[in-house]
Amino acid sequence: MRESEKKYRTVADNTYDWSFWLDPNGDFIYTSPSCERITGYRPEEFKKDPDLLSKILHPDDKEAFKKHVYEHEKKAGPGDLELRLVTKTGIIIWIHHMCQPVFDEQKHFLGSIGSNRDITTRKSAELALQEAKRLAEMYVELMGHDINNKNQVGIGYLELVLNEPGLSEDVKRSIEKALGALHDSSGIINNVEKLQRISSGKVKVEKIDLGQKLVDIRARYLESPGKAVTINYTPEKECFVWANELLTDIFSNIIENAIKHSRGPVTIDIKRGEMIRDGKYYCKVTIDDNGPGIPDELKERLFARFQRGVTRAKGKGLGLYLVKSLVESYGGMVWVEDRVRGDHTGGARFVVALPAVEK
């Protein structure tokens, strides 16, 4: 028996966490040396003052600990909670407190054993992340409401001025550039808002007719000012996918990029098919264009944030990142390849595969 007790004591004394055993009255029978590393107080100090743990609790956590002790005694079962302690040097730390009752073979209550783990580093990281998330949401709300409202006011006034008679062509071009910048600014804000919705898990999916969505998108882009655009798409048998209203943004961004980066008349071919990967059924959409294409070294990073293509067309690099984020939020896949195999100058082919609704 003594040899077993010695071995147990050796293990307990050398645990990194602060282990303890309280008798039925709440006095310390044992507390491991790690208590000094965590709190600055030695084991003898906790044995001498049974209320020392309660005394060094952060004031805001005393009530939670009191409730924990009450529920632990009432349920006679294990329990845990996260608490703040004030160390001997006055530093506030976080611990994960765990305890459970101990009974002998005759079911006599022998007290409680447990451990306290220093989680200050993890907790600080969690709190910093929460604060960063709060600030990010505040900034997105600020952009989406206040700044976007200012943009719309500016757009309204500039459009009024643009319609004034007697303006020179140079002045008109300057106003149109200013309008374009404000529209681009609003577009960026809208994309940031959508990305924030995705990252927060607020994107819920429903059953959507992919074929009808493609018909609507084709009709929208047939008339593109300043560009000769042909979009070929023949509706086939219906295919329903799990998505939502943001599904439009996936194909809009891809088609807008094809039009924007084209160097002359642009032809876009949209085809819809099916594919099975890892036993899962997908609706597949390919979008081909006859533009300048995408070099192999750019394909891998094309969907990264702030990544732009190789043409001189202006953009902020959020569009295709939004595409990838949306597709993956639906459980799908997106990639880009050459329209003409082995020749990237023959145009690009974007492939979007979205989980299909089981028939």
Summarised one tens digit per residue, pLDDT across range 231-275 is 999 887 788 998 888 898 899 999 988 988 888 899 999 999 999
Could you tell me if 298 and 251 lie in one domain? yes
pLDDT tens track for 278-321: 989 999 999 999 999 999 988 888 888 655 554 444 444 567 88
Number of domains in the chain: 3
Could you tell me if 259 and 353 lie in one domain? yes
The predicted pLDDT at position 313 comes to 45
Bridge partners of 87, per DSSP, are none
Contact of 351 with 335, CB cutoff 8 Å: yes
Domain holding 350: CATH number? 3.30.565.10
Count CB neighbours of 218 within 10 A.
Answer: 17
Could you tell me if 231 and 339 lie in one domain? yes
Last residue of a domain, one of 95, 118, 141: 118
Could you tell me if 155 and 73 lie in one domain? no
Could you tell me if 234 and 334 lie in one domain? yes
**How does strand 109-118 pair with strand 79-86?**
unpaired
Could you tell me if 147 and 41 lie in one domain? no
pLDDT tens track for 170-209: 898 888 888 878 877 787 777 777 777 776 776 678 899 9
Domain holding 47: CATH number? 3.30.450.20
Does position 63 have pLDDT exceeding 80, yes or no? Answer: yes
The angle formed by the CA atoms of residues 23, 24 and 26, to the nearest 5 degrees, is: 65
| Report field, pTM of the whole predicted structure over 0.75 | no
Read off the pLDDT band of 335 (50, 70, 90): very high
The predicted pLDDT at position 85 comes to 96
Nearest Cα residue to 287 out of 349, 204, 244: 349
Could you tell me if 129 and 111 lie in one domain? no
Give strand ranges (E) for 87-205.
Answer: 92-103, 109-118
Which has the minimum average pLDDT: 81-85, 137-141, 217-221?
137-141
The one-character DSSP state at 311 is S
Could you tell me if 296 and 231 lie in one domain? yes
Could you tell me if 307 and 357 lie in one domain? yes
Quote the domain boundaries for residue 311.
203-359
Calculated CA dihedral for residues 146, 152, 158, 161, nearest 10 degrees: -110
Last residue of a domain, one of 74, 95, 118: 118
Q: Mean pLDDT score of the chain, rounded to an integer?
A: 85
Helix, strand, coil proportions of the chain in percent (round to 5)? 45, 25, 30
How far is 98 from 93, CA to CA, in rounded Å? 16
| Higher-scoring residue by pLDDT: 309, 137 | 137
Last residue of a domain, one of 161, 184, 202: 202
